[in-house]
Amino acid sequence: MRREMKRIRIVVIWLCMLLFTLTACGKAAPSPEVAENAASRPTTDPSGASVVIPDQVDSVVALAPSICETLTALGVEEKITGYDLQSVGIAGLPENVPTFDTVNPDVEQLTALAPDILFVSNLSLYDQEAPYQPLIDAGVCVICVPTSESVEGVRSDIRFLAQALGVPEEGERVVAEMDAELARLSGIVSEIPKEERKSVYFEISPAPYLYSCGSGTYLHELMELAGGRNVLADQDGWLSVEGETVVAANPDVIFTNVNYTDAPVEEILGREGWAGVSAVQNQEVYYIDNMASSLPDQNIVKAVEQMAQALYPERFETE
């Protein structure tokens, strides 16, 4: 029960952060002495904050699964000296290194670890002002990569991380591979007339606290790339949803990426008041990989493929 409550707490906070993204992750600029004395590259990070990146980066700590997945894709996993608990199990991450609470990491332990770069998202210590100031004062470059809201934002983040770590060519490789897969999948569904494309509701938090997304989010864009029509496209951003709204929209297909409750698909199929929804009547409710659909990084292609195959299985029979 305690573990379940912790998962729910993290999901609720993540949802709140999708709704209220902090632009600078609560960081302050490095002191003039640190900036002047370091061999460095002054730049602006994806949150809009001014940062000074060391020319030589030998150790990094990453406190977001999306960042960790990108770092391993870039082939720099040997530089990772710590990461967040939510990233445990990601292929390629080193073992026997310190791990940190995603929402409230131990700043003293991070300072003692003294990485060249600390990568954070808008989730870590989101409700505190300048939480990483002790690290900045100690000369650590703290870089914030907020949750991207578009596929183009994902491309930009990959390239930024690659540049920060001195492997820009690897960043271009990862982006090119992602784009090639997206182009392949788009080509499979591109001939479907818009009026014939199936309508979709994507659930990221189950009853009784339904959450989904409208336009202006990367997940909405992924649904469109898969050939679906988001039933909430007339709304913007990450949304708290009433069950009646979904029932009235009557989606052809329902997706869920909920992974912290038992049998999320079965729960939707048996949800009170939803028996008349087309997706429920026709058993068109599918689970989409949580990591691929909830982390804005190069692995979004996995979510697009899963959605496209569920929506139009006949178009993949000859693949």
Q: Read off the CATH number of the domain in which 87 is found.
A: 3.40.50.1980
Within 96-204, strands assigned E span 99-100, 117-120, 141-144, 199-203
Same-domain check for residues 202 and 113? no
Domain closes at, from 112, 147, 182:
147
Condensed to tens digits (0 to 9), the pLDDT of residues 110-146 reads 999 999 999 999 877 666 778 899 999 999 999 999 9
Confirm if 27 and 134 have CB atoms less than 8 A apart.
no
Do 180 and 312 sit in the same domain of this protein? yes
At residue 65, what are phi and psi to the nearest 5 degrees?
-60, -40
The residue-averaged pLDDT of 214-228 equals 97
Q: What is the pLDDT of residues 174-189, one digit of tens each?
A: 999 999 999 999 999 9
Helix (H, G, I), strand (E, B) or coil at 312: coil
- Boundaries of domain holding 259: 174-316
Q: How is residue 95 written in tokens?
A: 């073992």
In three-state secondary structure terms, 215 is strand
Residue 198 lies inside a defined structural domain of this protein: yes
Is there a domain that residue 168 lies in? Answer: no
Q: Is residue 15 included in any domain, yes or no? A: no
Per the domain annotation, does 19 fall within a domain? no
Name beta bridge partners: 44: 50
Task: Pull the structure tokens for residue 116.
Answer: 């060249």
DSSP at 316: G
CB-based contacts of 284, cutoff 8 Å, min separation 6: 252, 253, 254, 278, 310
Nearest CA to 64 out of 83, 82, 51 is that of 83
3-state secondary structure of 96: coil
| Residues listed for the chain | 319
Q: How confident is the model at residue 105 (pLDDT cuts 50, 70, 90)?
A: very high
pLDDT for 32: 47
Q: What share of the chain is helix, strand, coil (3-state, %, to 5)?
A: 45, 15, 40
Which positions ≥6 away from 23 have C-beta within 8 Å? 47, 48, 49, 146
What are the pLDDT digits (tens) for 142-157? 999 998 999 999 999 9
C-alpha distances in angstroms, 177 versus 83, 172, 226?
25, 9, 17
Within-domain flag for 204: yes
| Residue that has been written with the tokens 């912790």 in this structure | 6
By C-alpha distance, which of 124, 86, 85 is closest to 104?
124
Q: Is the domain of 307 the same as that of 179?
A: yes
- Domain co-membership, 134 together with 184: no
* E strand or H helix that includes residue 173: helix 168-189
Question: Is residue 285 included in any domain, yes or no?
Answer: yes
Q: Write the CB contacts of 315 (distance below 8 Å, at least 6 apart in sequence).
A: 188, 189, 308
Q: What is the pLDDT of residue 222?
A: 97
Asked whether 26 and 126 are in contact (CB, 8 A), the reply is yes
**Domains: count for the chain:** 2
The answer to whether residues 101 and 203 belong to one domain is no
- Output the six-digit token pair for 96: 């026997």
pLDDT digit string, tens, across residues 252-266: 999 999 999 999 999
For helices 151-164 and 65-73, what crossing angle results, to 10°?
60
The predicted-structure confidence for 20-43, as pLDDT tens digits, reads as follows: 444 446 444 444 444 444 456 899
Is residue 15 predicted with pLDDT exceeding 60? no
The 3 state secondary structure assigned to 224-290 is HHCCCEECCCCCECEEECCHHHHHHHCCCEEEECCCCCCCHHHHHHCCCCCCCCHHHHCCCEEECCH
